[in-house]
Structure 1
Amino acid sequence: MRWLGQAGEIPSDLTKYPGYRFPAEVIHHAVWLYHLFSLSLRDIELILAGRGMVVSHESIRRWYLRFGADFAAKLRKHRPRPGDAWHLDEVFLKINGDLQYLWRAVDQNGIVLDILVQDRRNATASRRFFKRLLAGLKYKPRRLITDGLRSCGAAHRDLLPKVGHRTSRYLNNRAENSHRPTRRRERQMQRIKSPEQAQRFLSAHSMIYGHFRPRRHLMTADQYRRVRDKAFRIWRQETCVQASV
């Protein structure tokens, strides 16, 4: 499949985002590549060139900055209701030599519920993450599972006192494993320039990446293909809708 005509022109029947000369199909494909695979911007530039679209890596950078969060927000509407057991964990990120902490919550099915980048992991930071998590989901879990961080216990007592809480480094592998895609992207990006950049990118990345990464090992081949086809159908439906700029 090629996006350009024989003379190199862009077909007029392709969907366009207002203010952008490249078709929506090209833009959302570039954003998809960037979030699903550990590719650099120059790698994606080369892939698009192989499909007949000459675009600079700087344009691709502007696309994922402009559209990544919007695409993620649209996919969030199609996410199934979270499970009733939530796993919470935090890992450090080194940004310009300073330690920051990436807070993450997933349910028992491995679906990322929310993330938050903060410069502390004390009780105040824990409460801030709990409030963000509850405000964004509108649901309460039956059980929380965390590691031994005491600040999580303080936030639990203040905000979710009726919810069961278990602390164990061995029961929280679900949350710890969910950090792996972040670590891969951190290495690929070489460095993250600011906490704001980390929050913006990782929020979109967790939603877009998770949309196309169901728990494959729990499905038959036919089930997986149906889930995959549905994910692509939703992606095309949501990302090719014209957006105001």
Structure 2
Amino acid sequence: MLSFKGMRFSIDVILVCIRWYVAYPLSYLHIEEMMEERGVSVDHSSINRWAICFLPLIEKMARKHKRPVGGSWRMDETCIKVKGVWKYLYRAVDKQGKTVDFLLTAKRDMAAANRFFDKAMTANGVPDKVAMDKSGANKAAIDKINAGRAVPITVRKVKYLNNIVEQDHRAIKRVTRPMLGFKSFRSASNVLAGVELMHMIRKGQFAIDGVTVVSFADQFYSLAGQVRPV
């Protein structure tokens, strides 16, 4: 369970603000105004700090409740602007469109692809197949992994197979666009963890033992170890 000790605002206010931020295309100023309408005066800079602090922790806790994904992956990267410079969000989904994993990197090269595959395979197991674009760096990363395997991972470079992950990027971009770019790599990585978490919740990727959840909001609060705010 998250620790909110020493926080000026209640758990309910914090969780509502950060959920809104990663669930909908809103800026921190939008949420400040929305909370003001509800009789809660909170500065947008506080919401920013909460998002950076708590979202990666909630996403990490949620991973133990994530349902298994399929063994046929579609992998691709999309661009995210950080301090005016494009960075790269590596993502993979299975053939059903369920999110496998994600990783924000400063560069788009073999080392970055290796880090992504290491993270994804550690958490989700080794896939049977990976569909990707014609990126030589991504193919080199898989070749390196296959060099140490008795049964190699099949690589498929068929463009239509990757349509599903390219379409899936749009859900992430829809939420991040109003954020107008991130001020630091850390803030981008932490907030994106929350955006990806909400996207997975919408795709029904979590099973929470002993909890009957109905709405996406209920699932977010349950994964954060809290009851739904009133």
Q: 1:121 to 1:55 in 2, by over 3 A?
A: closer
Q: Structure 1 stretch 140-149 or stretch 114-123: which is displaced more?
A: 114-123
Long gaps (5+) in structure 1: 1-15, 216-226
After the TM superposition, which residues 31-46 of structure 1 pair with which residues of structure 2 at under 5 Å, given as runs? 31-46=18-33
Q: Look up the equivalent residue of 1:229 and give its one-letter code.
A: V
Q: Look up the equivalent residue of 1:167 and give its one-letter code.
A: K
Q: Which residue number corresponds to residue 80 of structure 1? A: 67
Aligned-pair CA distance for 1:183 = 2.2
Long gaps (5+) in structure 2: 206-211
> Is residue 2:184 matched to residue 1:184?
no
Q: Look up the equivalent residue of 2:92 and give its one-letter code.
A: A
Aligned-pair CA distance for 1:231 = 4.5
Q: Look up the equivalent residue of 2:189 and give its one-letter code.
A: Q
Cα deviation 1:23-54 (Å, max 9, x = unaligned) = 21221111110000001112112222222322
Q: Structure 1 stretch 171-180 or stretch 107-116: which is displaced more?
A: 107-116
Q: Look up the equivalent residue of 2:37 and give its one-letter code.
A: G
SS at match of 2:75: strand
Aligned-pair CA distance for 1:124 = 2.5
Cα deviation 1:140-193 (Å, max 9, x = unaligned) = 112111111122222212214522221122210111112113322342111222
Please say which structure displays the higher CA radius of gyration. 1
Q: Which residue number corresponds to residue 114 of structure 1? A: 101
> Is residue 2:138 matched to residue 1:152?
yes
The correspondence for 1:208, drawn from 198, 206, 209, is: 198
Aligned-pair CA distance for 1:118 = 2.3
What fraction of aligned residue pairs are identical, expressed as a percent? 28
The correspondence for 2:43, drawn from 51, 56, 65, is: 56
| RMSD, aligned CA | 2.5
> Is residue 2:123 matched to residue 1:136?
yes
Task: Report the TM-score when normalising by structure 1.
Answer: 0.77
Q: 1:213 to 1:154 in 2, by over 3 A?
A: same
Contact 1:102-1:115 at 8 Å conserved across structures: yes
Q: 1:140 to 1:45 in 2, by over 3 A?
A: same
Q: Which residue number corresponds to residue 164 of structure 1? A: 154
SS at match of 2:214: helix
Task: Report the TM-score when normalising by structure 2.
Answer: 0.82
Count residues with an aligned counterpart.
215
